[in-house]
Amino acid sequence: MIHEFDPYFNYRTTLFLTEKGFYEFWNWFDSESWYPLGRIIGGTLYPGLMVTAALIYWALRFLRFFVHIREVCVLTAPFFASNTTLVAYFFGKEIWDTGAGLVAAVLIAICPGYISRSVAGSYDNEAVAIFALLLTFYLFVKAVNTGSLAWALGSAFGYFYMVSAWGGYVFIINLVPLYVLVLLITGRYSMRLYIAYNCMYILGMLLAMQIRFVGFQHVQSGEHMGAMGVFLLMQVFYFLDWVKYQLNDTKLFQTFLRITVTSAILVGGIALGVGTASGYISPWTGRFYSLLDPTYAKDHIPIIASVSEHQPTAWSSFMFDYHILLFLFPAGLYFCFKRLSDATIFIVMYGLTSLYFAGVMVRLILVATPAVCLISAIAVSATVKNLTSLLRTKQKVSQTGSTKGAGSSKASSKVTLDQSQPFQKNGASALLVGVFYLLSRYAIHCTWVTSEAYSSPSIVLAARGAHGNRILFDDYREAYYWLRQNTPTDAKIMSWWDYGYQITAMGNRTVIVDNNTWNNTHIATVGRAMSSNEDEAYEIMRSLDVNYVLVVFGGVTGYSSDDINKFLWMVRIGGGVFPVIKEPDYLVNGEFRVDKGASPKMLNCLMYKLCYYRFGELTTEYGKPPGYDRARGGEIGNKDIKLEHLEEAYTTSNWIVRIYRVKPPTNRL
């Protein structure tokens, strides 16, 4: 079964791709969402995931395995996660040694931060993107290490796959140039680096332009300009090298250097300035800004800030997702700095930048996970290796003299250590036990987290009953299936955008807004309708041709992520476009309330009415007055709600989803 919100859209598009073929998919104009605007699907999505799933599907069909596309979709994420562990092994091997690779593979295989997006059913872009990301990095590092054109080519293709799969490719196109820049500054410029970067950048860019959604962003958007700049810088470096070789005169070269560098910077600066001013190069997007400055979104773009995944990460969730890796990470950094090479510089930079981004946005923990796993693996592997070699040398000394010379220098250092520390062997074995204890705790933690937090689809809510038995609230699907079966096929459903994808995929009905938040005004219109009173809302709904309104309400079950709790975001987003809606109107002394003390505007807005319609007659909890809202713990303020333009069409068994029918206008005789 498919989880969450976005995967439903991905599933729907994959289904379309397998049924209609590639060209139809490319040209698909979806009229079922964003009514009445529609959405050009082919041009506004990252097709990597769908194409991957479709290819797997067709391959299996060809091999006479008649699987359903749903099964392929559900299992794509775990399949790619297993590939990721393989890549992690090779990556670890490339930057440190096989031991580190092995540990990295083990760590990433069970790390909750990655499992959260790679469980079966989590059919999202990230599922394949993390694999693509790690693969690109691995191939690039390999290319830098070997200077081989083939690996650079591979890395370019990896990058292409990444671009086709996820918007997070921006991270690659900024990290890699940054890394190259750092290498240049630290004087580690080499021919290998030149080959690797140039090949990867040029080919990667050209390939990425083939993806319609990305298009010419590589040469036009501000986010990609860094890569371009570094590319030019590389050429300058190479040119200077050549001139230096040709001139063979230091003084002359110094003046030449000065002239070229100033002119290059000047030309670059002017080009950038002209490009930006003329609008050819677009400025950074809001999401990019909010990454660099965590407070940006809060002030400027409420729609980005309203998504819980975009909130800054809490310490607890770092602990939850990384556990001991959080402590091993600095240790790993220490080892990396101790043995500095091109590869370790890369992983250090990857680790540090991604960890910063993970701190800014919860969902980017995912990007940081491979780096954290790799660096921690280095720490574990190096420690264990040191400790075991310590133990071994002791044994060697006591038992026999000569063995195969694995590392004579190590042995000699051990000998010197031997003299200084008397309880070395005991200490080493104690530490070793400690390491294994930590790792086993990690394994236990990971299994626990996976089973508790990531195993159950969020669409089915589970609770414990009074006798400890499990109660399932399958209300979402109940409502969506009801829509699918019992409403006219051309019905338009208005709901908050969170449920858009699910309604189109499971309910098979047209929605006004959905999770692809490309049109802020349209969402604001819905937000405005929800926060207006019924008459005004009716006008808006009539103009949008809405037939049904769907709200999510947790007052009966105590489900807290319902529409009333999201309501302030609707007000904010609606108010961002329509100044009629003012947030303070819905608050009382800066407080959001639903009980008798709530503001009159709140008590009469559409959302309030739809959620609490006839709720006042219901006793939800023993010993509490009727109309007691369990999600917010209070008796509602307006129990006598009359609806004029809408009527209740369906309410699920636990009241979580309520659907209202918009009545046709009354005859004016």
Phi, psi of 601 (to 5 degrees): -65, -40
- Binding to other proteins by CB under 8 A, coded x per residue (else -) over 503-542, reads --xx------------------------------------
Query: Among residues 666, 654, 661, 307, which one has the least CA distance to residue 494?
Result: 661
Beta strands in 246-316, from DSSP E residues, in sequence order: none
Q: Assess contact for 290 and 297: CB atoms under 8 A.
A: yes
**What is the C-alpha separation between 31 and 39, in angstroms, rounded?**
6
649 sits near other proteins (criterion: CB under 8 A): yes
Q: Which listed residue (186, 412, 451, 486) binds other proteins by CB under 8 A? A: 486
Q: Is 307 helix (H, G, I), strand (E, B) or coil?
A: coil
In this complex, which beta carbon is closest to other proteins, that of residue 210 or of residue 486?
486
Nearest approach in angstroms of CB 479 to other proteins is 8
In this complex, which beta carbon is closest to other proteins, that of residue 389 or of residue 654?
654
In the structure encoding, which two tokens stand for residue 558, read together?
A: 């105590």
Q: Which listed residue (396, 614, 630, 639) binds other proteins by CB under 8 A? A: 614
Nearest approach in angstroms of CB 655 to other proteins is 6
Nearest approach in angstroms of CB 323 to other proteins is 32
**What is the C-alpha separation between 187 and 332, in angstroms, rounded?**
24
Q: Which listed residue (189, 289, 482, 578) binds other proteins by CB under 8 A? A: 482
Site for other proteins in 42-71 (CB under 8 A): 64-66
356 sits near other proteins (criterion: CB under 8 A): no
In the structure encoding, which two tokens stand for residue 223, read together?
A: 């986010």
**What is the C-alpha separation between 527 and 143, in angstroms, rounded?**
50
Nearest approach in angstroms of CB 26 to other proteins is 26
Long-range contacts of residues 184-188, Cβ cutoff 8 Å, at least 24 apart: 184/233, 184/234, 184/237, 186/345, 188/342, 188/345
Nearest approach in angstroms of CB 453 to other proteins is 20
Nearest approach in angstroms of CB 477 to other proteins is 6
Q: Is 579 helix (H, G, I), strand (E, B) or coil?
A: coil
151 sits near other proteins (criterion: CB under 8 A): no
**What is the C-alpha separation between 440 and 436, in angstroms, rounded?**
6
- Contact region for other proteins (CB under 8 A) — 258-266, 316-324, 447-455, 647-655? 647-655
Helix (H) or strand (E) holding 506: none
Helix (H) or strand (E) holding 252: helix 250-278
Nearest approach in angstroms of CB 547 to other proteins is 15
Q: Assess contact for 392 and 322: CB atoms under 8 A.
A: no
Q: Which listed residue (418, 478, 536, 585) binds other proteins by CB under 8 A? A: 478
Phi, psi of 59 (to 5 degrees): -65, -45
668 sits near other proteins (criterion: CB under 8 A): no
Please, which residues have CB within 8 angstroms of residue 564's CB and are 6 or more apart in sequence?
Answer: 553, 554, 555, 594, 607, 608, 611, 631, 632
Helix (H) or strand (E) holding 340: none
558 sits near other proteins (criterion: CB under 8 A): no
150 sits near other proteins (criterion: CB under 8 A): no
591 sits near other proteins (criterion: CB under 8 A): no
Task: Count interface residues toward other proteins (CB under 8 A).
Answer: 30
Residues of this chain that interact with other proteins (CB under 8 A) are 1-2, 64-66, 460, 472, 474, 477-478, 480-482, 484-486, 505-506, 614, 617-618, 647-653, 655, 661
